Chain A
């Protein structure tokens, strides 16, 4: 190798090394944040829930989990959270899909207004939404006043029942679900719909055989996001939901602040985290499969 070639190679190597260092510096901040704010506390919590301090130091124990899974109150709270999450997910998908289909394939000006209306909750803080729902659907709220005014009986208020947080969470999560499904529908071309209609498919056949299989991954992603969000929801279940049983968010808060039992609160958090991790796995698998399909 000549001197010039060796010098050029050295300069190139320095360039590559420099780029690698810049890359590492760029990812260092987010990785540090994730490590410090998520991974470390999670690890500490998991470690704490799996150990007990005895006279001869810490040793492994499943006692906190045994308590959680044998305590009827904790299980009722977990079950309520799962039920609310499942009902909200189904409702959100059932409500968002037709709106998204309309927005994707409609060319009228009305579609713009509907989109703005559907995305409006994105800009409303949860606490405002909660009080708005209490004023509207709560006892002696707007709905009751209107019903009384026209001589109709009052409806049972969803406020402080499991339906309170369900209504609030559906309203709150509608924009995100809609945006995810709309993004998925952008991959379904109008021509592919027209082609299906051309060979004789009616609206239901188009939806069932063409649209849904094409956005299956997107729906799974949307469902995963909704469930992850619902398990960690606090404001709406706390303000709109019943005191007993209650969803995991308010339950954890009460356990640590009012009951002053950090170990049980951590156990509740780890159980919630494990359920969320399960859905996160669905999400990761779905993304991986979509990428595989796109590259094949």
Chain B
């Protein structure tokens, strides 16, 4: 276990600032996910942690010791690569034992530790096989064992499940989580899959254009996104541009009360937080398409002004294309200039139908407090 501290890390490639003033602390035994779209700089941060890229400025400390300028072979880190990066000219045992052999450990010790590492990742008895004879998931586990066998203080994983199918990916992330908890190892995990981040991480650091947008626990990142980018990137979110006038934000026919000065603002509502009520008239939204996912219906609507948005409804609720509906946000957030700045008023609003008022009480007090703290 080890504590990792990243201070003001920056990296420039030509005219592109790949990583821009990133600072994060990772606690002992914590699993931090670096999440962001392609080109957001998350892999560059990880490569700098592993020593494969030299930062232009900033520092990296592991257990208080500055490792910024140490080469990879002298860092107490282990890295699992996206492409597995197994050495196909060696068998599985040799792949895992290679680092131990370089350390000139006794042969018996190498054998014991290699077999224990293979056992830990569920590949006992796979030693004599060639990596090319293994499935994608097995290859990924060999790569994991190769890093774990050296007992690194910090394990770095660069989109390790990107090449696996959905089913295998889900199984592998459970296994990685289990191994991480069993070994009590500090992990930094890079992914662009929000599901993976939400399922695995103790904390998620969302990156965009080389900068950190938000570092928080998964539920906080999902429920209280601090920027419109995080709101749009994590889960499904309807982001609708509107205008605040006299304490009311009107966006695509949806009106909510906000404590904001007049001006443009963005209304953010998750599909599951939109209540639908059958209606008719020019101000009603039109159901464009309905997809039945079994557990819920995904209802795509076209609001007044042509804005497209999504809502969810109970299966069997009878929504079909061509029907009209009024939208009632149960929860929402308001962003101005990409930053969170507004929150819904207290539940029990008079402008909502009685059938929907009870739903507004779903808004968690903690969430409101958090939003309020960001309001300033």
Contacts and interface: CB of A to CB of B under 8 A. Distances in A.
Interface of A: 189, 191-192, 194-202, 205, 209-210, 213-214, 296
A189 B102 contact: no
A194 B52 contact: yes
Nearest to A212: B89
Interface in B42-76: 50-52, 71-73
A201 B82 CA distance: 20
B20 interface: no
Interface centre among A194, A202, A213, A296 (most CB of B within 10 A): A194
Contacts of B103: 200
Given A189-B83, A209-B98, A296-B132, A198 B78 contact: yes
Interface string B29-51: 00000000000000000000011
Contacts of B87: 192, 195-196, 210, 214
Contacts of B72: 194, 197-198
Interface residues of B, number: 28
A194 B83 CA distance: 11
Contacts of A198: 50, 72-73, 77-79, 147
Contacts of B92: none
18 contacts: A189-B83, A192-B85, A194-B81, A195-B143, A195-B146, A198-B77, A198-B147, A199-B78, A199-B147, A199-B150, A201-B73, A202-B73, A205-B102, A210-B87, A213-B89, A214-B89, A296-B130, A296-B132
Given A189-B83, A189-B85, A213-B89, A199 B71 contact: no
B264 interface: no
Given A194-B52, A194-B79, A201 B85 contact: no
Contacts of B127: none
Given A194-B85, A198-B147, 14 more contacts: A192-B85, A194-B50, A195-B81, A195-B86, A195-B143, A196-B87, A196-B98, A197-B51, A197-B72, A199-B78, A201-B98, A201-B102, A205-B102, A214-B89
Q: Kindly list the 7 A-B residue pairs having the minimum CB-CB distance in the complex, ordered from nearest.
A: A199-B99, A191-B85, A195-B85, A197-B72, A213-B89, A200-B73, A191-B81
A200 B102 contact: yes
A192 to B, nearest CB: 5
A75 to B, nearest CB: 41
Contact of A197 (B73, B83, B133, B147): B73
User: For B82, B98, B143, which residue has the most chain A Cβ atoms within 10 angstroms?
Assistant: B98
Of listed A199, A205, A296, residue having the most chain B CB within 10 A: A199
Contacts of A195: 79, 81, 85-87, 143, 146
B306 to A, nearest CB: 46
Contacts of B82: 191
Contact of B102 (A191, A192, A199, A213): A199
Contacts of A191: 81-83, 85
B53 to A, nearest CB: 10
A210 B101 CA distance: 14
Contacts of A201: 73, 98, 102
Contacts of A200: 73, 99, 102-103, 150
B146 A199 contact: yes
Nearest to A202: B73
Contacts of B133: 296
Nearest to B83: A191
A196 B99 CA distance: 8
Contacts of A192: 85-87
Contacts of B73: 197-202
Contacts of A213: 89
A195 B89 CA distance: 14
Contacts of B98: 196, 199, 201, 209
Contacts of B81: 191, 194-195
Contacts of A209: 98
Interface string B98-121: 110011000000000000000000
Contacts of A296: 130, 132-133
A201 B52 CA distance: 13
A202 B73 CA distance: 7
A224 to B, nearest CB: 21
Contacts of B86: 192, 195
B59 to A, nearest CB: 20
Contacts of A199: 73, 78, 98-99, 102, 146-147, 150
A202 B102 CA distance: 9
Contacts of B52: 194, 197
Nearest to B103: A200
A29 to B, nearest CB: 39
A256 B106 CA distance: 65
A200 B77 CA distance: 10
Interface string B175-189: 000000000000000
A214 B87 CA distance: 9
A191 B150 CA distance: 18
Nearest to A188: B87
Interface string B132-151: 11000000000100110010
A95 to B, nearest CB: 25
Nearest to A213: B89
A196 B88 CA distance: 13
Nearest to A206: B73
A115 B88 CA distance: 29
A64 B167 CA distance: 73
Contacts of B99: 199-200
A191 B85 CA distance: 5
A111 B143 CA distance: 32
Nearest to B81: A191
Contacts of B88: 214
B177 to A, nearest CB: 22
Nearest to A192: B85
Contacts of A197: 51-52, 71-73
A196 B86 CA distance: 9
